[in-house]
Structure 1
Amino acid sequence: MSSTGVLLLIAMAACMASAAVLGSLARHRIAGLGRWLAAHCFLIVAFGALVSSRGDYSPAIVLIACFCVLLAAVLILQGCRQFASRPMMGRYEFLGLIALAGAVLYWTVIVPDENLRAAVMSCALCYTRMAVGWTIWNSRGQHRRRYGHWLVLVAASVGATLYAARMVQCVFFANPAAKVLEPTPLNLAFVSAGILSLLLLSIGLVMLVNDSLVENAQRLATIDELTGLLARREILSRGEEMLKAARSTGSPLSVAIIDIDDFKLINDRYGHPVGDRVLKKFAVEVSQRLRQRDLFGRLGGEEFAVLSPETGKARAATFVESILSSVSGGVTTREGEARCNFSAGIEESGANDTLNDVICRADAALYRAKREGKRRVELAAASLT
Structure 2
Amino acid sequence: MAARPSLLGLTPWTAALEVLGNAPVSVARINVDAFGRLSEQLGRSAAESLLRGLERDLSTHFPSDALLGQLGPDEYGVILPETSPETALRLLDDLVRHFARHRDPRWPPGVGLSAGIASRPAHAGSAADLLLHADEALLRAKREGRGRACLYTPAKMVLKANYYPRSQLDRLKKRARAEGRSEAELLREALDRYLQS
TM-score, normalised via structure 1 length: 0.36
Task: Look up the match of 1:374.
Answer: 146
2:108 matches 1:338 = yes
With 353-362 and 294-303 compared, the bigger mean Cα shift is at: 353-362
Equivalent in 215, 231, 237 of residue 12 of structure 2 = 237
Equivalent in 346, 349, 367 of residue 120 of structure 2 = 349
Q: Cα distance, 1:338 vs. partner? A: 3.5
* Aligned mates of 1:238, 1:265 — CA distance in 2: 28
Shift in CA distance, 231/306, structure 1 to aligned 2, threshold 3 Å: closer
- Could you say which structure has the larger radius of gyration? 1
- Aligned residues of 1:239 and 1:307 also touching (Cα < 8 A): no
2:83 matches 1:307 = no
The residue matched to 1:346 in structure 2 has which SS? strand
More strand by share: 2
Task: Look up the match of 1:204.
Answer: none
- Aligned residues of 1:330 and 1:338 also touching (Cα < 8 A): no
For residues 82-97 of structure 1, the aligned pairs below 5 Å read none
* Aligned mates of 2:136, 2:17 — CA distance in 1: 22
2:27 matches 1:252 = no
The residue matched to 2:145 in structure 1 has which SS? coil
For residues 85-234 of structure 1, the aligned pairs below 5 Å read 230-233=6-9
Task: Look up the match of 2:38.
Answer: 266
Q: Cα distance, 1:349 vs. partner? A: 2.3
Q: Which runs of 5+ in 1 are unaligned?
A: 1-222
Equivalent in 293, 302, 322 of residue 94 of structure 2 = 322
Letter in 2 for 1:261: D
Q: Cα distance, 1:244 vs. partner? A: 4.0
- Aligned residues of 2:7 and 2:68 also touching (Cα < 8 A): no
Task: Look up the match of 1:280.
Answer: 52
- Aligned residues of 2:117 and 2:152 also touching (Cα < 8 A): yes
Q: Percent identity?
A: 25
The residue matched to 2:20 in structure 1 has which SS? helix
Q: Cα distance, 1:317 vs. partner? A: 0.6
Give the number of the structure with larger relative contact order, counting CA–CA contacts within 8 Å between residues 6 or more apart: 2
The residue matched to 2:58 in structure 1 has which SS? helix
* Aligned mates of 1:253, 1:229 — CA distance in 2: 17
* Aligned mates of 1:376, 1:270 — CA distance in 2: 24
The residue matched to 1:375 in structure 2 has which SS? coil
TM-score, normalised via structure 2 length: 0.67
Shift in CA distance, 348/311, structure 1 to aligned 2, threshold 3 Å: same
Give deviations 1:163-198, integer Å, cap 9, x for gaps. Answer: xxxxxxxxxxxxxxxxxxxxxxxxxxxxxxxxxxxx
Count of matched residue positions in the alignment of Structure 1 and Structure 2: 151
Task: Look up the match of 2:171.
Answer: none
Q: Cα distance, 1:242 vs. partner? A: 3.6
- Aligned residues of 1:362 and 1:380 also touching (Cα < 8 A): yes
* Aligned mates of 2:13, 2:131 — CA distance in 1: 14
- Aligned residues of 1:258 and 1:304 also touching (Cα < 8 A): yes
The residue matched to 1:232 in structure 2 has which SS? coil
* Aligned mates of 1:261, 1:275 — CA distance in 2: 13
- Aligned residues of 1:229 and 1:283 also touching (Cα < 8 A): no
